[in-house]
């Protein structure tokens, strides 16, 4: 089994796997252009020039500025984003957010589904 690396960046916890990262933002966080560079730096420091998928495990209530998806699209090694949320209203919100991201974007209901999707993405898209 591959090693898992953990990093707490203050407003989020990151769990790094070989080809994907699972992010859990802390309750009440506003992910916006002001703090997004911290997230991007953590991701690019870890993956460097290796492609990866970002899985957002939305376990807590927080807000996301859709503008951050435009910033995320500038990270060349970030190949796709998956939003995991079991609530249908949150899935609709995530689907709206996906309109601001120019690469592959997926919404699902469980973390297991998100991981399977990321693994399939790597097998079929890269």
Q: How many CB atoms lie within 10 A of CB 93?
A: 18
- In this prediction the pTM is 0.94
Pick the CATH number of 5-125 from 3.30.460.10, 3.30.70.1900, 3.20.20.10, 3.30.750.24: 3.30.750.24
Q: Parse the chain into domains and list their residue ranges.
A: 5-125
Kindly report, residue by residue over 22-54, the tens digit of the pLDDT. Answer: 999 998 898 988 899 999 999 999 999 999 999
Q: Is the pLDDT of residue 8 over 90?
A: yes
Q: For residues 101 and 105, what is the distance between their CA atoms, to the nearest angstrom?
A: 7
Q: Which residues contact 12 (CB under 8 A, 6 or more apart)?
A: 23, 24, 25, 26, 29, 31, 39
pLDDT at 1: 55
Kindly report, residue by residue over 57-106, the tens digit of the pLDDT. Answer: 998 877 889 899 999 999 999 999 999 999 999 999 999 999 999 999 99
Q: Which residues contact 51 (CB under 8 A, 6 or more apart)?
A: 19, 77, 78, 79, 122, 126
């Amino acid at each position: 089994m591959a090693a898992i690396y953990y990093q707490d960046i203050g407003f989020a916890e990151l769990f790094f796997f070989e080809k994907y990262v699972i992010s859990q933002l802390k309750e009440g966080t506003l992910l916006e252009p002001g703090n997004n560079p911290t997230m991007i730096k953590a991701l690019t420091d870890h993956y460097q020039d290796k492609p990866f998928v970002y899985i957002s495990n939305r376990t807590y209530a927080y807000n996301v500025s859709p503008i951050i998806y435009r910033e995320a699209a500038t990270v060349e090694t970030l190949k796709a984003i998956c939003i995991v949320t079991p609530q249908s209203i949150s899935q609709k919100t995530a689907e709206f957010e996906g309109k601001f991201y120019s690469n592959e974007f997926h919404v699902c209901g469980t973390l297991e589904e998100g991981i399977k999707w990321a693994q399939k993405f790597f097998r079929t898209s890269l």
